[in-house]
Amino acid sequence: DEIISIGAFRMINCRLLREKRFEQLVDPQRSIPWTSVKIHGIHPEMLIGQPFIDQVLPQFHQFVEDTMLVAHNAAFDMRFLQLKEEAIGLHFDNPVLDTLLLSSIVHPNQEGHSLDAIAERFNLTIVGRHTALGDALVTAEILLKLIPLLKAQGIHTLEDALIASSQSPFAK
């Protein structure tokens, strides 16, 4: 697998800044299996002329510099970034919050902690599911819904959230 799209939004003080976003398709320099295209909707012709990952990741690294990263099932996404670190000469050592793990903390008795299940639980509409920017947007909206629930459980700081996440049964 290769990265073919990166999407992110900036959040400041529990406010989602929709206009401050990073969105870029990436030419993976290889073919894309049709089974993947059916999921994310990115067709090979859409990637013709797009920059390669070694051009995109430094830009993304700059976008997320000195910030916390938030992702759903973050281990999956972070592994893709880590596999490219040596090639680009940069490291993604940002603190990372995982909405899957946080959901399992605030809703321990719920069976589903998929992005779709959590969005449904919070009555959020997912626009562009399985696209980098669409999934980033709903992940940010989920985090905003989780914050008051975390606070109600005494989880007030990033450190508190990271510690609680590490104790989730879903932590790897």
> Please, which residues bridge with residue 98 across strands?
71
- Give φ, ψ of 114 to 5 degrees: -70, 165
Distance CA 49, CA 51 (A): 7
* Contacts by residues 156-161 (CB-CB < 8 Å, ≥ 24 positions apart): 158/68, 158/95, 158/97, 161/97, 161/102
Burial 80-101 (b: 16+ CB within 10 A, else e): ebeebeeebebebebebbbbbb
Active-site residue flag, 113: no
Q: Which of 43, 91, 130, 156 is catalytic?
A: 130
Active site residues: 130
